[in-house]
Amino acid sequence: MKILKSLKLIGIALLLIAGVAACDSKPGPAESAGKKIDQSATDTGNKIGETVDKIGNKLDEQSAKTGAAIDDAEITAKVKAAVFAEPGLKTLQISVDTIKGVVTLSGSVDTPANSQRAKGLAAAVSGVREVDNRLVQKSN
């Protein structure tokens, strides 16, 4: 909101400057001065519109990046909770990392069955696109 208000103030200032500049030009008919003012106002409006569009695009990009980071963090938390709640897995050393919906499981498990269980739990979490199971079986 502050950006939009600042842009409006800049636009008004530019319009006033353009109007004063048009009035200071060589004396001529009122129509000529009016046309110059109108053209200056149009040019200024176009520049402001371009600037607002650029700022809007940047904000959209940042929002998308922030949304992805929040989604990945949420997915990681849900996978960790699912693994921790599963009997037999919560005491194992399983790390979870998520990037763009791809969950990577790393660490150690005691059996191949537990590795597959952890992978299945991760895959069942909403938002998971893929599971990269890098769990290794530890020696007993």
7-36 tens-digit pLDDT: 666 767 666 666 655 555 555 566 676 777
- pLDDT on residue 70: 66
DSSP the chain: -HHHHHHHHHHHHHHHHHHHHHHTS----HHHHHHHHHHHHHHHHHHHHHHHHHHHHHHHHHHHHHHHHHHHHHHHHHHHHHHHHSTTTTTSEEEEEEETTEEEEEEEESSHHHHHHHHHHHHTSTT--EEEEEEEEPP-
* Model confidence pLDDT, tens digit, residues 116-140: 999 999 999 988 999 999 999 887 6
Report the percentage of the chain scoring pLDDT > 90: 24
